[in-house]
Structure 1
Amino acid sequence: MNQLIIRVATVQDVAELQRIGRQTFAETFAASNSEQNMQNYLTEGFALDKLMVELQNPDSAFYFAELAGTVVGYLKVNTGPAQTEAQAAPALEIERIYVLRANQGQQVGQALYEQALTLAAQARAEYVWLGVWEENPRAIRFYQKNGFVEFGQHVFTVGDDAQTDILMKRPVPGARP
């Protein structure tokens, strides 16, 4: 099997980020959302100008997972004011871990998650947190397996559909509470 490479995504990768972002989001959620809501989200959420702003934010970072030179998944993390919810302690948010359907079950998501833990330790975060759609049991199980516990909820909007995300967190190994 080809070796998985995790690398930083830069502004030069914006078109590839748009492609992988749209494809993985559609593969994951299209069956559970209306076509119009999906199209609106894919157009607005992955607009090139929006992605450029996100890529240039010093409190956010994107990483690609590559197999044989092909991007098969990606990670987005946020710290400080870039987090989608204010946190009481130093924390790192995993905003996105997405893997192409064809590459799920190949430890790509786990490798991206481990990259996030490394980044959290480097940032001296006390915990890692995320929001996961309440109707995505596969992702919920993945995070529970990795030590995450529920601590709240927030709304995530796809088109005009307000959906509930479960907020989950876990301590960063070696962090002081």
Structure 2
Amino acid sequence: MVRPAVTGDATSLAALSIEVWLNTYIRNGVNAFFADYALAQYTGAYFGEVLSNSAERILVSDNAQGIDGFVRVTTGAAAPAPGCSDVTIATLYVQPRHQGSGVGKRLLEAGLACCAATGRPDAWLTVNAENERAIRFYLNHGFQQVGDTHFHIGDQAYPNHVMRFVFGAS
């Protein structure tokens, strides 16, 4: 079931984010640099603030045991590539054990419906340039790569692709 997130989901969103982020980006052992980032970034308080911001919307996939994924849509976000609107799918995370089960597709569809409801002609997102599985997922669901940018942690920069979905395009 996909539903809007509520304030009581904040700590579950934080825990899921840490799990997905570390599983996706930390391949050769956890060091303090990345651990400090994940633990400082993904907190219940952080998600409480996001949920109280009218420019943000989080939809969660909720199974019998709890949240197994979420999509975060943000309006008013400056796109890092020309020609994109100000609505972005800021995050789409699915627990690793639920990837490939359709959860991501349902969340993406719900997130895109949320984006379309804003009246913008398109939505964009960024994806780590080394995350081939996610890149294929977005390409298979109608996104096109329209640029490149970097994700920054402190003074470190990591290449990301900017992907755009145009509403009404076939």
- Where does structure 1 differ by over 6 angstroms across 4 or more consecutive aligned residues? none
Q: Counterpart in 2 of 1:85?
A: 79
Return the alpha-carbon distance in structure 1 between the equivalents of residues 30 and 155 of structure 2: 10
Q: 2:130 aligns with which of 135, 142, 145?
A: 135
Deviations 1:90-113 (A, max 9, x none): 442011111111111101100000
Q: Counterpart in 1 of 2:107?
A: 112
Q: 1:147 aligns with which of 137, 142, 146?
A: 142
The gaps in structure 2 that reach 5 residues or longer are none
Percent identity for Structure 1 against Structure 2: 26
Q: 2:71 aligns with which of 71, 75, 96?
A: 75
Look up the equivalent residue of 1:24 and give its one-letter code. Answer: V
The gaps in structure 1 that reach 5 residues or longer are none
Superposition CA RMSD, Å: 2.0
Residues 27 and 41 (structure 1 numbering): CA distance in 2 closer, same or farther, change over 3 Å? same
Q: Counterpart in 1 of 2:96?
A: 101
Residue 10 of structure 2 corresponds to residue 42 of structure 1 = no
Please state how far the C-alpha of 1:157 moved relative to its aligned partner: 2.1
Look up the equivalent residue of 1:45 and give its one-letter code. Answer: Q
Please state how far the C-alpha of 1:50 moved relative to its aligned partner: 2.4
SS, match of residue 27 in structure 2? helix
Return the alpha-carbon distance in structure 1 between the equivalents of residues 39 and 11 of structure 2: 13
Residue 42 of structure 2 corresponds to residue 7 of structure 1 = no
Return the alpha-carbon distance in structure 2 between the equivalents of residues 165 and 13 of structure 1: 28
TM-score by length of 1: 0.85
Deviations 1:123-143 (A, max 9, x none): 112001000000000000001
- Whether the 8 Å CA contact 1:91–1:126 is kept in 2: the answer is no
Count how many residue pairs are aligned between Structure 1 and Structure 2: 168
TM-score by length of 2: 0.89
Residues 62 and 134 (structure 1 numbering): CA distance in 2 closer, same or farther, change over 3 Å? same
Return the alpha-carbon distance in structure 1 between the equivalents of residues 98 and 118 of structure 2: 29
Return the alpha-carbon distance in structure 2 between the equivalents of residues 125 and 64 of structure 1: 22
Q: Counterpart in 1 of 2:53?
A: 57
